[in-house]
Amino acid sequence: MLSITRSHERGHVQHGWLDSHHSFSFGSYYNPKQMGFGPLRVINEDKVDPGQGFGTHGHENMEIVSYVLSGALEHKDSMGNGSILRRGQIQRMSAGTGVLHSEFNPSANETAHFLQIWLYPNQKDIEPSYEEAVFDDEAKQDKWCLIASETGEQGSVRIHQDAKLYAGIFNGNQVSEYTLANDRIAYIHVVKGDITINGQELHTGDALKLSAEPLVQIQQASHAEVILFDMSAS
């Protein structure tokens, strides 16, 4: 079964310095039909003005992955971590029993553009932890590059959930297939570009939900960057 959510159907908030699109209910945006998909709870596409950002705030019992698209994102947290993330860098924070953090755009003239992704953990009240990894565009070119997983295999950041997150950059008519096991569901978010997956034409900001489907098949793409979530259906 396939279900498409178009980019314009997402929630949208504009707070001056922040322009954010919500794939699922979040903050002031509430849609009872979009409360998440499997363990995936949040995909926010955020654009933060230069010199602005999210002040110190708390999270608990959530797996949080940041995927930087352009610009820079400065992270500080109560675990003592501090770094500036740029395109190609992936950040994973397991909030567990509770963590405080802030996210700012340190640039004086460039917008920070990133995806913030939340997944429910399969273990509650774990000790908070933090991890980064680098996956440049070459690692994603014309293939699915594993960026997050429960096992941390292939250099991916380790999340506490039975899920695998892949990123890929595709262009042209070559067919690319990804096999889904019988007990798995998939969610595909189009970061940018145009792509045809399982016969469905998708564009920047669109999403495709798949359940009881054996394959994720890319038939055609035009300068497309996509993220694939392979998750347990239970």
Number of CB atoms found within 10 A of residue 137's CB: 12
Q: Which two tokens stand for residue 25?
A: 């209910």
As a whole number of angstroms, the distance between CA 37 and CA 185 comes to 9
Q: What is the set of domains in the chain, with CATH numbers?
A: 2-232 (2.60.120.10)
CB 80, CB 142: distance < 8 Å: no
In a 13 Å sphere around the CA of 80, the CA atoms on its Cβ side amount to 0
How do the pLDDT tens digits run along the chain, 234 residues long?
A: 899 999 999 999 998 999 999 999 999 999 999 999 999 999 999 999 999 999 999 999 999 999 999 999 999 999 999 999 999 999 999 999 999 999 999 999 999 999 999 999 999 999 999 999 999 999 999 999 999 999 999 999 999 999 999 999 999 987 789 999 999 999 999 999 999 999 999 999 999 999 999 999 999 999 999 999 999 987
CB 97, CB 75: distance < 8 Å: no
As a whole number of angstroms, the distance between CA 223 and CA 135 comes to 18
